[in-house]
């Protein structure tokens, strides 16, 4: 079953039918409804039975939700309050967004079941608040459509039944600590304004402001503080006296209490009451702003500096930056294509100059690369100093993270800022790698360059699809490749084309070779949109490239780490053509062949490609043995290192 809908109830005969009818009218049917009832004395149970709901004994809301979850058959759990109504296509839209964004726990936006401008404004503020603090402090403004996976609910012990008030926010916060939380925006749930009508704006704002401030101070709020009661009671008001039956939803004890009419009947709005409401709204807004400022000031500041050559470093770093931004203030520095890619995804991205290798015909031109570096270094030092150094003096970062970007290393040493290295390149210097024995000269040259880029970081966090012995485990740790969500969500198939990607558009020999082979090739990296016989050239398009990768039967690429890692994740056989003179690409291609994921050749011929294509079934068999992982462990390691080494 796709989803179990769990609804705690107590005397909800006036609201429950509307909710159940809105569920029944959905264009989605793979669900069950579980009512957790706290001994209602009205017709709630009869209504639930008439809609074929499962019924369990409830109690306070957290207790009822847990009892419902215990018998749930669905893979996902959706917790709703009884006074809600689902909007059209709510279930289909929420489940689709939950799955496509790979969320572990989410909450939906809300809209009031009221036409009053005041009510709409208040709910807009609540929605804004949830979104604004989504990455800072995950929480929910009530149990208005909390969706999670059953296995995650179970592994976190469900709702904390000892909490009197705010058990929903506690639930979200505990799960979101180690899982992905998101405010889902594809559908809204319609919310009753009964509490607003019953308790009045001034009292309700006081309650929410008090509980929110306590929440941000990590202090529990009890019911006595808020003068808050659970349960909704029918009252019979007579002319001479009023008698209200109140049922304790836990003990099921009925008591009779008498009240004077004046204490029950709401007074007419007055100018004073309206002014108090305005003041409460203003104070609430000030409190929220103060909380936001306090949180921002308390967050650690991180400089994240990324090598600009190609897109591999940027794509990997983008995944990490997105996660770190939920807890920290992150400032990003990069060059060339990486800067363009990252600046479209994040704020606080600054362009610096970077080192670039010169390629010609898939060969590193050492002299031209050296000449370009010597020529540009004085200018780069001056300009990067003006950006990195001045920003560091202004912002005062607590730590620097670098993905093989060397100028940040200089700033870290000058200003005595701790630095972490997160990349795959240091596999060459920090592990005992195997490599082709005729490539020792390239290996030694590569080690020299790498060591000059990075001088004694606090920790090396390496990402790799192969795992040689680490030389210094106290300072170096390896994790599987960081895979972006867009790739992880793809459902690969094997169609009739081969995906081809080249870092440099100068490899004309490859193009001439592919034209001689009776296969369809989709080619990226040559900066053009064109069909040439069996070759379809495409300019880089982030959406289109995903389809071309996922539907390919094999991948031909240089030796770039990111694309090879993504190909392995999608179980695509790999033909690696490392650029001559680039030892890192050679190493990646060497391990592709060693692990049986494909082959590696620096000189491409029709014979080697045809042989590769004839053995795809062998490589696919080996690739299926690779266990795919998510990025959580390496993100935890990075966050742990930040907390350990930050100033």
CATH of the domain at 85: 3.90.550.10
| Residue 352 vs residue 359, higher pLDDT | 352
**For range 561-576, the mean pLDDT:** 97
- Indicate if 420 and 518 belong to the same structural domain: no
- Indicate if 86 and 13 belong to the same structural domain: yes
Per-residue pLDDT for 232 more than 50?
A: no
Which tokens in the block code for residue 270? 């007055």
559: helix, strand or coil: coil
Percentage of the chain exceeding pLDDT 90 = 59
**What was the pLDDT predicted at 19?**
95
Per-residue pLDDT for 263 more than 50?
A: no
17 lies in some domain: yes
Query: 138 pLDDT band (50/70/90 cuts)?
Result: confident
274 lies in some domain: no
In eight-state DSSP terms, residue 579 is P
Answer whether 0.85 is exceeded by the pTM.
no
- 72-76, 120-124, 246-250, 537-541: which range is least confident on average? 246-250
The domain tally of the chain equals 3
Per-residue pLDDT for 434 more than 70?
A: yes
**What was the pLDDT predicted at 378?**
54
> Is residue 95 within 8 Å of residue 160, measured between CB atoms?
no
448 lies in some domain: yes
Per-residue pLDDT for 279 more than 50?
A: yes
- 109-123, 305-319, 392-406, 614-628: which range is least confident on average? 109-123
**What was the pLDDT predicted at 374?**
52
Shortest CA distance to 545 belongs to which of 589, 497, 508?
A: 497
Per-residue pLDDT for 422 more than 50?
A: yes
Per-residue pLDDT for 235 more than 60?
A: no
pLDDT in tens, 361-420: 556 555 555 555 555 555 555 566 668 888 999 999 999 999 999 888 888 988 899 999
Query: 243 pLDDT band (50/70/90 cuts)?
Result: very low
Which of 168, 193, 218 is where one domain is finished?
193
Per-residue pLDDT for 465 more than 80?
A: yes
**For range 106-124, the mean pLDDT:** 84
**For range 623-638, the mean pLDDT:** 96
**What was the pLDDT predicted at 255?**
34
DSSP line for 116-158: -HHHHHHHHHHHHHHHHTTTTS---SSSEEEEEEHHHHHHTTS
**For range 499-506, the mean pLDDT:** 84
Per-residue pLDDT for 249 more than 90?
A: no
246 lies in some domain: no
| Residue 503 vs residue 460, higher pLDDT | 460
- Indicate if 352 and 400 belong to the same structural domain: yes
- Indicate if 478 and 566 belong to the same structural domain: no
Which of 193, 209, 240 is where one domain is finished?
193
- 130-139, 259-268, 460-469: which range is least confident on average? 259-268
Residue whose pair of structure tokens reads 């390896």 in the numeric block: 478
| Residue 120 vs residue 129, higher pLDDT | 120
Per-residue pLDDT for 231 more than 60?
A: no
Per-residue pLDDT for 614 more than 50?
A: yes
**For range 242-247, the mean pLDDT:** 36
- Indicate if 330 and 378 belong to the same structural domain: yes
| Residue 76 vs residue 352, higher pLDDT | 76
**What was the pLDDT predicted at 133?**
72
Question: 399: domain CATH number?
Answer: 3.40.50.2000
Strand 598-600 with 574-576, pairing: parallel
**What was the pLDDT predicted at 260?**
35
**What was the pLDDT predicted at 264?**
34
**What was the pLDDT predicted at 581?**
84
- Indicate if 39 and 116 belong to the same structural domain: yes
> Is residue 512 within 8 Å of residue 533, measured between CB atoms?
no
Full residue range of the structural domain in which residue 54 is found: 3-193
- Indicate if 439 and 537 belong to the same structural domain: no
Shortest CA distance to 167 belongs to which of 399, 309, 354, 8?
A: 8
Query: 105 pLDDT band (50/70/90 cuts)?
Result: very high
- Indicate if 522 and 466 belong to the same structural domain: no
45 lies in some domain: yes
Which of 162, 177, 193 is where one domain is finished?
193
Percentage of the chain exceeding pLDDT 70 = 77
Query: 454 pLDDT band (50/70/90 cuts)?
Result: confident
- Alpha-carbon separation of residue 428 from 78, 404, 469 (angstroms): 48, 13, 11
pLDDT in tens, 141-194: 566 789 999 999 999 999 998 887 778 888 998 999 889 999 998 888 998 877
**For range 515-520, the mean pLDDT:** 96
Per-residue pLDDT for 290 more than 80?
A: no
Per-residue pLDDT for 278 more than 70?
A: no
Which tokens in the block code for residue 134? 């989504």
> Is residue 405 within 8 Å of residue 549, measured between CB atoms?
no
Per-residue pLDDT for 295 more than 90?
A: no
Other CB atoms within 10 A of residue 622 CB: 15
Per-residue pLDDT for 339 more than 80?
A: yes
365 lies in some domain: yes
CA atoms in the 13 A half-sphere facing the CB of 470: 16
> Is residue 374 within 8 Å of residue 368, measured between CB atoms?
no
> Is residue 149 within 8 Å of residue 75, measured between CB atoms?
yes
- 117-131, 185-199, 365-379, 540-554: which range is least confident on average? 365-379
- Indicate if 100 and 127 belong to the same structural domain: yes
Which tokens in the block code for residue 59? 């109690």
Q: Which residues of 352-389 are buried (b: 16+ CB within 10 A; e: fewer)?
A: bbbbbbbbeebbbbeeebeeeeeeeeeebeeebeebbe
| Residue 255 vs residue 527, higher pLDDT | 527
CA atoms in the 13 A half-sphere facing the CB of 237: 9
- Indicate if 475 and 500 belong to the same structural domain: no
- Indicate if 573 and 609 belong to the same structural domain: yes
Per-residue pLDDT for 456 more than 70?
A: yes
> Is residue 42 within 8 Å of residue 17, measured between CB atoms?
no
**What was the pLDDT predicted at 248?**
36
Find residue 8's DSSP bridge partners: 36
- Indicate if 445 and 553 belong to the same structural domain: no
**What was the pLDDT predicted at 203?**
55
261 lies in some domain: no
Per-residue pLDDT for 234 more than 50?
A: no
- 152-161, 177-186, 238-247, 501-510: which range is least confident on average? 238-247
Per-residue pLDDT for 239 more than 90?
A: no
């Amino acid at each position: 079953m796709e989803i179990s809908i769990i609804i705690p109830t107590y005397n909800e005969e006036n609201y429950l039918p509307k909710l159940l009818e809105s569920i029944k009218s959905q264009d989605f049917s793979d669900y069950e409804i579980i009512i957790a009832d706290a001994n209602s004395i009205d017709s709630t149970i009869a209504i639930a039975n008439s809609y074929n709901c499962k019924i369990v004994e409830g109690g306070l809301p957290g207790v009822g939700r847990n009892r419902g979850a215990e018998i749930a058959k669905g893979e996902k759990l959706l917790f709703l309050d009884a006074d809600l109504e689902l909007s059209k296509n709510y279930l289909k839209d929420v489940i689709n967004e939950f799955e496509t964004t790979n969320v572990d726990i989410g909450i939906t936006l809300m809209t009031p079941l009221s036409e009053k401008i005041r009510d709409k404004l208040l709910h807009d503020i609540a929605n804004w608040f949830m979104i604004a603090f989504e990455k800072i402090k995950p929480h929910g403004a009530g149990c208005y459509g909390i969706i999670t996976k059953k296995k995650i609910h179970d592994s976190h012990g469900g709702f904390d039944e000892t909490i009197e008030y705010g058990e929903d926010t506690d639930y979200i916060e505990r799960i979101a600590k180690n899982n992905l939380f998101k405010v889902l925006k594809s559908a809204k749930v319609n919310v009753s304004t009964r509490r607003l009508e019953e308790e009045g704006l001034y009292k309700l704002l006081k309650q929410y402001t008090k509980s929110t401030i306590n929440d941000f101070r990590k202090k529990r709020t009890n019911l006595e503080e808020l003068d808050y009661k659970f349960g909704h009671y029918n009252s019979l008001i007579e002319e001479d006296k009023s008698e209200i039956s109140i049922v304790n939803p836990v003990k099921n004890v009925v008591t009779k209490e008498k009240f004077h009419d004046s204490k029950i009947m709401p007074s007419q709005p007055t100018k004073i009451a309206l002014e108090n409401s305005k003041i409460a709204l203003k104070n609430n807004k000030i409190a929220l702003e103060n909380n936001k400022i306090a949180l921002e000031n308390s967050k650690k500041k991180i400089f994240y500096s990324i090598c600009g050559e190609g897109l591999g470093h940027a794509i990997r770093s983008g995944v990490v930056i997105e996660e770190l931004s939920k807890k920290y203030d992150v400032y990003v520095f990069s060059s060339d294509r990486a800067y363009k890619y990252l600046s479209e995804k994040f704020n606080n991205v600054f362009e610096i100059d970077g080192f670039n290798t010169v390629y010609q015909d898939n060969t590193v031109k050492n002299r031209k690369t050296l000449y370009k570096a010597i020529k540009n270094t004085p200018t780069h030092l001056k300009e990067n100093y003006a950006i990195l150094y001045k920003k560091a003096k202004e912002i005062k970062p607590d730590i620097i993270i670098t993905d093989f970007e060397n100028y940040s290393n200089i700033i870290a040493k000058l200003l005595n800022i701790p630095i972490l290295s997160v990349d795959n390149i240091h596999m060459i210097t920090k592990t005992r790698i195997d490599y082709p024995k005729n490539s020792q000269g390239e290996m030694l040259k590569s080690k020299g360059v790498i060591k000059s880029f990075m001088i004694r970081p606090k920790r090396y966090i390496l990402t790799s699809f192969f795992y040689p012995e680490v030389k210094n485990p106290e300072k170096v740790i390896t994790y599987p490749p960081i895979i972006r969500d867009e790739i992880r969500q793809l459902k690969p198939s094997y169609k009739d084309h081969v995906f081809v990607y080249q870092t440099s558009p100068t490899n004309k020999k490859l193009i001439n070779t592919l034209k001689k082979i009776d296969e369809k090739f989709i080619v990226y990296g040559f900066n053009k949109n064109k069909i040439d016989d069996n070759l379809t050239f495409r300019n880089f398009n982030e959406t289109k490239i995903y389809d071309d990768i996922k539907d390919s039967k094999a991948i031909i690429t240089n030796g770039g780490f990111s694309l090879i890692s993504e190909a392995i994740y999608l179980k695509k056989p790999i033909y690696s053509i490392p650029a001559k003179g680039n030892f890192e690409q050679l190493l990646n291609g060497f391990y592709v062949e060693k692990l049986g994921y494909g082959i590696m050749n620096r000189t491409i011929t029709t014979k080697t490609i045809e042989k590769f294509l004839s053995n795809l079934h062998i490589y696919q068999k080996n690739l299926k043995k690779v266990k795919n992982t998510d990025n959580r462990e390496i993100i935890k390691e990075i966050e742990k290192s930040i907390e350990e080494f930050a100033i």
